C-alpha cells in the first residue's frame, strides 16, 4: 500500500515539474530580443543596411 502511495506522489511531482517547465517555454516572444538575434545572424554588410534603414526610419519620425 505504501509503495502505491509513493508511486502516485512521484507521478504527481513529475507532472507538476513538467507543467512548470512547459509553462516557462510559453512566454511571449520579446520583439527586441528577436530583432537582436536576427541582426547578430546577419553578415556585417547586411547588418549595416538594416541598421541604416532603422536609423532612417527613426530620423524621419523625428521630423513630425
Tens-place pLDDT, residues 3-62? 999 999 999 999 999 888 877 666 667 788 888 888 888 888 888 888 888 899 989 877
Helix (H, G, I), strand (E, B) or coil at 28: coil
Residue range(s) defining the domain that contains residue 48? 2-62
Provide the number of structural domains found in the chain: 1
Its pTM stands at 0.38
Cell of 6: 509513493
Kindly give, in sequence order, each residue whose CB lies less than 8 Å from that of residue 39, ignoring residues fewer than 6 positions away: 47, 50, 51
Amino acid at each position: 500500500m505504501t509503495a502505491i502511495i509513493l508511486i502516485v506522489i512521484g507521478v504527481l511531482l513529475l507532472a507538476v515539474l513538467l507543467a512548470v517547465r512547459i509553462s516557462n517555454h510559453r512566454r511571449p516572444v520579446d520583439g527586441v530580443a528577436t530583432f537582436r538575434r536576427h541582426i547578430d545572424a546577419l553578415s556585417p554588410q547586411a547588418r549595416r543596411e538594416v541598421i541604416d534603414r532603422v536609423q532612417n526610419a527613426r530620423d524621419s519620425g523625428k521630423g513630425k
